[in-house]
Structure 1
Amino acid sequence: MGCSGLFLFYWSVIVSLAAIAFADDYDNYFECGFVEDRGNYTANSSYQANLNRIVSQLSSLTEFNYGFFNLSAGESPDEVKAIALCTGDRTQDECNSCLHRTATELIQRCPWHKEATAWSEFCLVRYANRDIFGQLESEPRTCAFNTRKASNPVQFNDGLSELLNNLSNIAAAGGPLRKYAAGNATAGNLQTIYAAVQCTPDMDKQNCTHCLDDGKAEFLNCCYGRIGCRVLRPTCILRFESNPFYHTAVPLPSLPPSPTPPGPTTSPTSIGG
């Protein structure tokens, strides 16, 4: 297993991103990141106890909630707030297992930070000592790419861009239960590209679009010409591959039928002379 520290400059603020990957296996990994200036907690503190309570909550979920959870533990100033998200194609059992492992790994591999985010195979977990629900976040962030390159990167990227644009529009228009879209397209020499994008559903349409647009721009810097890549942010994730990697999306509940409008009313007609 490899562990590397990444230092990113964002608006002249030095941001530390601790990225830990399950090495050499692009399809099975864990990464976590933190923003350096958000503060630390100490061992055996109330904050640590509340963070452990969050992990316990994620380990004992009984409701599926379509893979999105907004949790809290404790009281200010030691309150911990957390958001957890599974990709839209995962069942409850798969989601619970991923969230439990990811939350446990997060506090073990990125310890002592009052705010941190972790991404693993098909879920993310983040926590902070502030309100993060509905807040668009761009840090910490990272990407992971396949070392193989496309045979025709220009055509591949053109097909990828069109596919990601279409999927981003669908995901951003999603409702409060899920903002997720997956699909495929053909590019270049009949090579198929598979992609999926997702926002945490506490994002409104504008913020989801903004996050995904930034992620698509990052593909050009991190992943251009690769046959697979993930861009990972606290409020959205994007991924593409040259092989299928997603399942059929878990069905959302059907919308209740619109109420039938009442029929026209008529006044009684008098009969007689």
Structure 2
Amino acid sequence: MRKNKSFLFSIILCFLLTIKTSVILVSTQDQQCLGQTSFNTYSTFNKNRLLLLSYLPSNVTAQNNFFYNASLGQDRDRIYALAMCIPSTKTNDCSNCVKTTSDGLIKNCPNNTEAFHWLGSQNTLCFVRYSTRSFIGSPDMDPRQILPNATDVRSSITDFEGIWQDLMLRMVDSASSKYYEAEITPLTSTSSVDTMMIYTVMQCTSDISNADCNTCLRNSVGDYQNCCRGKQGGLVTRPNCIFRWEFYPFYGAFRNTPSPAKKEDSSTVKIVAPTLVVAFLLLLAVVGYVFYLRRRKKKNKDVLRETYQELDIDALSSLKFEFRVVQAATSDFSEKNKLGEGGFGPVYKGKLQNGQEIAVKRLALRSGQGEEEFKNEVLLLSKLQHRNLVKLLGFCLKGEERLLIYEFVPNSSLDHFIFEEVAKQDHTLKASWSTRFNIIENIARGILYLHEDSRLKIIHRDLKPSNILLDYQMNPKISDFGMARLFESDDQTQGITTSRVMGTYGYMAPEYIAQGRFSVKTDVYSYGVMVLEIICGQKNNTFQPSGVAFHAWTNWRGERALDIVDSVITENISRNEMMKCINIGLLCVQESVKRRPNMNSVIKWLKSNSVTLPVPSTPAYVVHSDSGEASHVSQVNVSITELEPR
């Protein structure tokens, strides 16, 4: 196996060496480490710093504009952070860049209370900054950094200065209004028919005003002219803006930027063509080796592959609905039939010609739930049958329309039942503890079925009250399997996502947010948050500063656990049963993954009145963004080596 790895490494190295790239990778010495002081590695401030920086890669890519800022901690231990990427960046490239930059700041600014770094590569440009002071919205012109190229511009380029200055003035005006601009401008050489291109990128952090962005970029262009006039490219950085120009593309910023036609020199073609042939052959060798490795693992994955072949969506003809049938059932998706709307799109109530009531999820064209999530839900729910899982009746595909048709569940979702004031003021069956205990127990049964009892071993990954539907008898049904993942074998119980971390903050386990690691314990964590919410009658983000888990934990340690019980529960309740549920909820949200129970243990504890439960330890830590959201992100005792990417 060691020889195989060495062989693969040699092939990849040779492949990379055949490709000529022009990239500025800003070195570690170019990181701006400010506010040097001495703080203990295990101090609260440093823990907050590590936690907040580990939180950035997954959160910046969750934003449409790839810009994210947040803060963590109180008083002297509070830290502010910001992360961003250029708009044209691919999600994985942005996340990896922010991760690399954050790790670099931790390594190279170990005792600094403030630091920032612009990191550029062939694929992207990203920026990370942290400080003990709130810098959001406050423009900083210093410290600045100017990095010119060593080569001079060729004298044969006609009217270079005039074209360059006109371009920069135009770029500053455009970038300051949009916070980002990338442009290609041609230059003509008098000595040949070759047309050269000026590639330019300007970007500001979008928290400052347009006027401040304009000032920052103008100063940077002026700094470059004063320092490096006549040089063939360069870079100027400040805490709030970056300016770079070259005679070649960089940062992956020009993929979608139109460029004038450019004639290739024949000598260049003669050199490049053999290089591409060699690179192609090496690539084929790498692909062949990868297939070889996959064939060795084929035996362990046959069951999973056969399952997907069996569940191919094209073969599920019995579940296909005609669009006109669904359209008629919902009165052409009328507003009066609209049950609600989430990030995926609206849900409508309908009635088929045979009188059966249905619920129709109509996926929005630009929702976060795309083709893969749609197919995932159809494939999984078509084979899952359990009283505590919502039943999929069918699906519909027509053009860009993607419809999922479910059984109609009349009492809406759990979040309406436990959070909305109208429901809480209705002192009927809805507010009773017996109903809530039944919901707690049956959600656990549904999750246990997914983890252990179904033919497919599944992690849901998005358990939350809005995905728990309630039928006529207030029995819970787990819904929304768009993000669910199959185990590859019966003995596999964990994995790591290779794409963007998706879910709902507040219900996502810290190891999933910070490292992309998911397992059955990921769902257990989400379940624990829901249990505590059902008992408290409050959302996870309503208690400051640390969420519902810490609210329950604080009262538990102070022997006031029953003080968290929702005040609308008026009937006599079993003190032991209530304490047991609080205990179970706290066991499920422990920061230690190993100490969280599995769902089989949870079911046994809920059914027994005599078993002694373990004592819960500290819940997972919480980060608050500046928008006011509260989210569990990572364990308190984080070390630098644990800060792995998604």
Which TM-score applies when normalising by structure 2?
0.33
Kindly provide the amino acid, as one letter, of the partner of residue 85 in structure 2. C
Match of 2:43 among 45, 57, 63: 45
Shift of 1:148: 1.5
| C-alpha spacing 1:228/1:40, structure 2 compared with 1 (3 Å) | farther
1:136 aligned partner: 139
Q: Secondary structure at the match of 2:197?
A: strand
Equivalent AA in structure 2 for residue 161 of structure 1: Q
Q: Conserved in 1, the CA contact under 8 Å of 2:54 and 2:102? A: no
Match of 2:118 in 1: 119
State the SS of the aligned residue for 1:27.
coil
Q: Which one of 158, 161, 170 corresponds to residue 157 of structure 1?
A: 161
Which letter does structure 1 place at the counterpart of 2:49? L
User: Which residue matches 2:184?
Assistant: 184
Aligned-partner Cα distance in 2 for 1:238–1:32: 16
Task: Report the alpha carbon displacement of residue 41 of structure 1 after superposing the two structures with TM.
Answer: 3.4
1:107 to 2:106 alignment: yes
Secondary structure of 1:143's match? strand
- Contact preservation (8 Å) 2:68, 2:83: yes
One-letter amino acid matched to 2:43: S
Answer with 124-133 or 84-93: which moved more.
84-93
Q: For 1:90-120, what per-residue CA distance to the aligned partner results, in whole angstroms no more than 9, with x for missing partners?
A: 1221111100010110110122111111121
SS at match of 1:126: strand
Amino acid across the alignment from 1:183: E
Kindly indicate whether residue 203 of structure 2 is the aligned counterpart of residue 167 of structure 1: no
Alignment of 1:1-273 (within 5 A): 27-30=24-27, 31-36=30-35, 39-61=37-59, 63-121=62-120, 122-152=125-155, 155-174=159-178, 179-187=179-187, 189=189, 190-245=195-250, 246-248=253-255
SS in 2 for 1:71: strand
- 1:12 matched residue in structure 2: none
Q: Comparing both structures, which one devotes a greater share of its residues to helix? A: 2
- What CA distance in whole angstroms lies between the structure 2 residues aligned with 1:249 and 1:48? 41
- Kept in 2, the 8 Å contact 1:26–1:146? The answer is no
Distance in 2 (CA, whole Å) between partners of 1:134 and 1:224 is 32
Change (3 A) 1:101 1:88: same
Give 1:203 deviation, angstroms.
1.3
**Could you list the runs of 5+ residues in structure 1 that have no partner in the other structure?**
1-24, 255-273
Once the two structures are TM-superposed, the CA of residue 233 in structure 1 deviates from its matched residue by: 0.9
Equivalent pair of 1:168/1:212 in contact (CA under 8 Å): yes
Shift of 1:58: 1.6
Q: Which amino acid aligns with 2:130?
A: Y
Contact 1:90 1:247 in 2 (8 A): no
Counterpart residue number, 1:269: none
Whole-Å Cα distance in 2 between the matches of residues 46 and 200 of structure 1?
A: 28
Where does the alignment leave 5 or more consecutive residues of structure 2 unmatched? 1-21, 190-194, 258-365, 367-646
Alignment partners' CA distance in 1, 2:188 and 2:233: 15
Change (3 A) 1:42 1:249: farther
Q: 1:151 to 1:128 in 2, by over 3 A?
A: same
Aligned-pair distance for 1:193? 0.9
Using the TM superposition, name which of 88-97 and 183-192 deviates more: 183-192
SS at the partner of 2:235?
Answer: strand
Q: Is contact 1:160-1:187 (8 Å) kept? A: no
Provide the C-alpha distance between the structure 2 equivalents of 1:34 and 1:187, rounded to a whole number of angstroms.
Answer: 38
Deviations 1:6-55 (A, max 9, x none): xxxxxxxxxxxxxxxxxxx852233311345x655332221111110112
Summarize deviations over 1:222-268 as a string: whole Å, max 9, x none: 33212111111110000100112223469xxx9xxxxxxxxxxxxxx
- More deviation, 143-152/163-172: 143-152
1:215: how far off? 0.5
1:159–1:188 Cα contact (<8 Å) kept:
no
Higher relative contact order (CA 8 A, sep 6+): 1
Which secondary structure state, in structure 1, belongs to the residue aligned with residue 75 of structure 2? coil
Of all paired residues, the percent bearing the same amino acid is: 28
C-alpha change, 1:75 and 1:154, in structure 2 (3 Å) is: farther
Q: 1:59 to 1:205 in 2, by over 3 A?
A: closer
Is residue 158–residue 187 contact of structure 2 (8 Å, CA) maintained in 1? no
Once residues 107 and 132 of structure 2 are traced to their aligned partners in structure 1, the CA distance between those partners, rounded to angstroms, is 18
- Scaled by the length of structure 1, the TM-score of the pair is 0.74
Mapped contact 1:158–1:187 kept (Cα < 8 A): no
Cα pair distance change 1:225/1:40, threshold 3 Å: farther
Matched residue of 1:53: which SS? Answer: helix
User: Residue type matched to 2:146 in 1?
Assistant: C
Q: What is the SS of the residue equivalent to 1:52?
A: helix
Aligned AA for 1:75?
Q
Give every structure 1 segment of 4 or more consecutive aligned residues whose post-TM-superposition deviation is greater than 6 Å: none
Structure (1 or 2) with the greater strand fraction: 1
Shift of 1:188: 5.8
Cα distance in structure 2, aligned partners of 1:98 and 1:50? 21
Q: Secondary structure at the match of 1:115?
A: strand
Rg bigger for which structure? Answer: 2
